[in-house]
Structure formats: structure tokens, C-alpha cells
Chains A and B, each alone.
Chain A
Amino acid sequence: MRPTLHLVHLYPGLLNLYGDRGNIITLQKRCAWRGIELRVHQIGLGESLPPDPVDLYFMGGDQDREQTVVERDLRERHREAIQNHVSAGVPFLAVCGSYQLLQQYYRPAEGPELVGLGIIDAYTVHPGHDVPRCVGNIVVEWEGGTIVGFENHGGRTYLQAGAAPLGRVIQGHGNNGEDGFEGARTGNVFGTYVHGSLLPKNPAFADLLLHLALKPRYPDYELEPLDDSLEATAHDAAIRRARAMRG
């Protein structure tokens, strides 16, 4: 049977700073090339979630002004539904600013603390605008091999007991530049600072998300392997470039 997946893309008009659209395009094409239909539901400010089933969530990065607007809408409109979905195993990918929004709280350089959804047991502190941002190529080692991309964030994230890191930083800063961890995984909820875009050069990550999205409703469906030679070339070239630019 030809599966149909429903992806909820939260605040695409507001949270799309670092080529996040590349993540959606990648999921779409990797489904289409296998005959899976991926329906993308773009949910903006003040809009409701589509009716069930929801198989996958994506939320991108942002600039700070937009984060306060989103934070309120997310908390007031969608908190309960998202919590129900993720506790039932629906995968969620949150990049940069939205990774922070899924945490317990975010303390900005100035202004009041922002309460997060509390889905990822972590918090983020912005050390002030005079402290250098965490910017540059990043290489992370995780269960699926390596993840490559680019990070650019002021806030420093600290994982608490309830969250596992997504991976270990081989090069770059990661969550806070101190403990060597990058991102977080809680159940099937993934938060990360890696963009660049994240999924095109990391097809194993993209396929893990699709595998998790298919599992509840299509448990026997096996993802057909694709020709990822160009993806591998770009992945390896990015690692070499990251090494070359370190010096």
C-alpha cells in the first residue's frame, strides 16, 4: 500500500532563517522518490493544527523578535496537542530557535525569561551580546554516523537529567561549547543547532525521521534505499571543508 504521511510545518513564514526550507524539500523528495505521499501542512500564527493523523513535526530557526510572538502562540494553541502526539511517538525535528522553544526556558541577554514547552529537559541562557556567538561549521558524531552542517547561535543550552544529547561534537561548539554535546533527543523529539540545511547532507537523519513517522500507522513499511552518492559526496566534502577552515 502506498503510504500517505502528514507533516506539520510550524510557523514556516516566521521561522525560516537558515535554509530550513531545505529540510522540508529533502523530506518531500525522499518520500516522492519512494512513492510515499508527504502532505505538508503549513501552520502559521493563529492557525489550528490539521485533524489527526499527524505523523511528523518540523519547526525551524528564527530571529529574536519573532521568537516572542511564536512562543505565545505555540504555548496557548498547540501545547497540549503536541505533547499528546510526541508521547505517542510522533517524531519532531526542531532546529535552532525552535530547539530552544521546546526546552524548559530561555533566558535572553535582556528582557524577561521565555517559558518553553518543556518537552526537552534543558534550558538555554544567552550570555550577552558582548560574548561571541557560536558560529561555524560543525561536525557531530551520533548513532547514525556523522552529522555535518553549520551552527550560528548566541544562546548556550544545558541538558538536564531527562534529555540525552543527539551526539558528540567533533568540531564546532554544539549546545554550549563546554560539555562537548550537541542537540538533544527525548523519545522521538530531536532538537539541534545544526542547519546548513540539516537534512540534505545528512540523509540518514532524514530517513530516520521518515522511518519513525511511518512506524505507528505503517509498521511493516520498509524504506527503500536511495542512491545517496551525491549526498555522501557533499557530506564528506563538508567534513573536509570544516577541517580545512578550522585553522
Chain B
Amino acid sequence: MDSRAGSARRVTVSPRTMLALFVGKLAAVMTRSLGKGGGTSLPGLLATRVQPHLVRELASQLQRGTIVVSGTNGKTTTSRMLASILTEAGVSVLRNASGSNLTRGVASALIARFDLWGTIRSEVSTFGLFEVDEAALPEVVELVQPSKLLLNNLFRDQLDRYGEVAMVARLWSKAIARLPAAAIVIANADDPLVAEVAVNNSECPLYFGISSVPDKGSTGEHASDVKTCPRCGGPIEYTLVTLGHLGHYRCSNCEFVRPEPVVCAENVRLRGIDGSDFTLAAGDVSASVHFPLPGLYNVYNALAAAAAATALGIDMSQIATALGNATAAFGRMERLEVDGHTVYLALAKNPAGLNEVMRTILQSSEKANLLMLLNDNTADGHDVSWIWDADVEMLAGHTGQVAFSGTRAPDMALRFKYAEVSDERGGKSRIELNTEAGLVHALAGLGAGEVLFVVPTYTAMLDVRGVLTRLGHVNPYWEE
């Protein structure tokens, strides 16, 4: 019996939790009035100092359950698609802001939706959808006690933060061990590292994967992070490589093999920057998807969202419709109009991601104008050596104007020099450490109606968004 409309409030939380909510809400009001990026992190940070169990207490009140989404690439895009599937199915969704994917970000999102008495502000039952940093996963899972855990992929990223890919796999095993007994693990069958974690730690994972891509074969890329079997260290063989180390694999030494996925994308046909077409299938139900986001990496994100929605009992045709209306998360091949030019913002923060972005650019443009933005701040990873593992060589002969910006612009310029990719307008490739100056110069160098591809790392993307916001071309990201 819910007596929310009445005057007598049923207080379900402790005074300490109410104090934490008060502190968090105050911090949110103050950061917002100071215009400091929407307060997606500080409220949670302060409130959990007051009440360390805050997240557990609030998350346990989400009656529809919760899902925690993790993976090196695609957390935001996947969460965004899952949220729109659920919203269209009439489910109220509570999400943390992208980029605020540690415990404090989850706490901030909860604080914003609960009132000071610890009651959720919603007329319908609410589902919690939290995207979480790979390394923060054990802690967040322990606190949130989610009913679903979605593991999308495990790429080499920010090695200086996490040590190595194998260490993240160990953290994920720990996270699965902390799940409630009835929880479902949803895992990417095509990623051997994810599959090995899922198969070893979960009784009956729900797998998703790409069944067939007519244009792809078994050749790997240099960006591949996995050369040996995660179980025995023997050589691993592929009959299909979709991207990076993802695909159809089998160990030639032990019994380790790609698990058979339940939710599949069949017959994936890429349409360049315009997206792809595929058949979404689960068991004997299927639906065709005319998917507007580019690249196979986004097909994986769509599949991840579809698998989670399937586990939540959403209808396949409803899922397919929602995926057909998907829009890019900010900076993920996001299309903007700036001063009469079309500008694409395409985040690339590791070799596999950069390869996919470059492939998409090549499919859509004969001579691409590029602004490469390489930063080495903490959220980007301080180590920029990953750029040497990306196959920049594929751009040779296909570029127009090429410019470099960001704290490590000269490193990227050097990568292009050794790939023999040059500014084919004849000029010397411009290097500009300052992002704003780099963007202004790149736009000024374009001919009438020309397209510019801006390819930033994470903090460089925030920088360039900041510049575009100031110039009035986009909304601040916290308003999305």
C-alpha cells in the first residue's frame, strides 16, 4: 500500500541517510548555481562521506531492479540505447550521467531522484541503469546489488591506471562474486576475455554476439589485445574477426571456445557513417533492424542493450523499433552543424576504437578533413603509446586537410608522419596544443560546405564540446 499522496510520510531510512541526502542535494544546488558541469559527481562524493551505505539503501528501493553496465568501450552508448528501449516500453529509468561512472556518480544520480525523506520521486516503479567504470565495478556491484550485470567488452585502455587487461578481468570476477544469487550476467560471447570471466563465475550467463558479417574474414588487426587463450595460454584461433580481438574464436590447445550466444545480430551489413542493417534474433524470434549508428562497435552496443532488454521481458519488435531510432551519445560520431560545415565528433580513446572511427570515416569520405585531438590527462590515460597500435596507415591517400591539437598533438602528428599520411592540401600539418585554437584553425581551413571529422580522446572531447558550447553550437552535455 502506497500512501504517497497522503500527508503522513513513511520514513524508511535512517537519520544519517537523511542528513547525507540533505548534504548531497545542497551540493547539487550549489554546483549548479556556480555552473560547474551540473553536479554529477560532487553531491554523491560528499553524501557518501556522511553515509557510506547511501547507495545500498537507496538502490534497494528501486522496485523494477537495477542493471550495472560496464566495458571498456560503449558504456554510454549502450546505456543510452537501453534507456530509450525501456522508456518507450513505459518503464521509468534512473541513470547516472556518462563520465560520472564511479560510486559517487551513481550516488549523485540516486540523490537527485530521491526526496529528503529517502522516498523515490516517481509515480511508476523505477529501474536503475548505471554505467560503471571497469575498475570500480566490484565496489559498485557490492553497493547496488544489481539484478543484472552487463559486460560488453574488455579492451586495452588506460593501462597506466589498471596495470593490464588481465587485472581488469580479475576485478570483474570479483564483481560477479558479489552479485545477489538470482542476478543474471549478460556477457559478450565474442570477447574471449569477457566470456572467460562469465563462464567461470556465473552459472548461466546470457550471451550476445554477432553471428555473421558477410564482409569480414579471419584476419586480425594490430590492435588485438588477446593473442593467447585466457584459460591455458595456448594460441587462439579465429574464424571471424569482427573488431580487435572480438569474433568467433577457439583455443587450439584446450576446450576454451566462444559460447553460443542467445541474442544475436545476423547478417550485419555496414552502411558507412549512416549505420548498418542486421537481423536481431533471440531463439526463434527475430526482427530486422535499420540501425542508424555507424560501425560494428555500435552493433555490439545495440546487441548489449537488446540482450538486457530481452532479459527484462521487453518485446523483440519493440526493441528493434527503439534501436532504429537510436541517436549518437555526445561525441560518438555525433553530427553538428558549425558555421555552414558539417562536423562529426568521433571519440577515439584506444587503438580498437580509433580503427573503427577511421574505417567509418573512410566509408563516408573520399578525402577526409581531420582534426586529431590527443590529450594525456588522467581520464585519457597518461600513456599515449596506444596510438602506435592503431592502423593509421589505412588513411594514406584519403585525407584532405590534417591538423593536430591537444596536450600530445606532436605525438599524433609523428604517428601520421610514420604512417605517411599527410595533409594533402600541400600545407604542413598544423600542430596546435590549444584545443580552441586548433578547432578555429581547422574550421577556417575548410572550403565552402566541406565536412570536418574531429577525432578526440575523452578529455579532448570535453574540451571541444566546451568550445562549441561557448560558441553556441551545442548544448552543455549535462542538459542531455
Instruction: Point out residues on A near B: beta carbons under 8 Å.
Output: 13-14, 16-22, 25-26, 29, 45, 63-66, 68-69, 133, 135-137, 149-150, 152, 154, 195-197, 200-201, 230-231, 233-234, 237-238, 241, 245
Contact = CB atoms under 8 A, between A and B. Distances in A.
Nearest to A26: B418
Given A25-B388, A65-B228, A69-B228, A18 B159 contact: yes
Given A26-B418, A136-B160, A136-B382, A200 B408 contact: no
B441 interface: no
B389 A234 contact: no
Contact of B166 (A64, A68, A135, A136): A64
B431 A233 contact: yes
Nearest to A22: B388
Interface string B58-78: 000000000000000000000
7 closest Cβ pairs, A-B complex: A22-B388, A19-B385, A19-B388, A234-B410, A237-B410, A150-B383, A13-B227
B15 interface: no
B233 interface: yes
A66 B164 CA distance: 12
B414 A133 contact: no
A19 B228 contact: no
A230 B417 contact: yes
25 contacts: A18-B383, A18-B385, A19-B387, A19-B389, A21-B222, A22-B385, A29-B418, A63-B166, A64-B166, A65-B228, A69-B233, A135-B160, A137-B382, A150-B382, A150-B384, A196-B384, A197-B388, A200-B414, A200-B415, A200-B418, A234-B410, A237-B410, A238-B411, A241-B408, A245-B382
Contacts of A16: 222, 389
A150 B418 contact: no
A20, A66, A200: residue with the most chain B Cβ atoms closer than 10 Å? A200
Contacts of A29: 418, 420
Given A17-B159, A195-B385, A234-B410, 12 more contacts: A18-B383, A19-B385, A21-B389, A22-B389, A22-B418, A64-B166, A69-B228, A136-B160, A136-B382, A230-B410, A233-B431, A234-B413
Contacts of A21: 222, 388-389
Given A17-B159, A19-B387, A66 B233 contact: yes
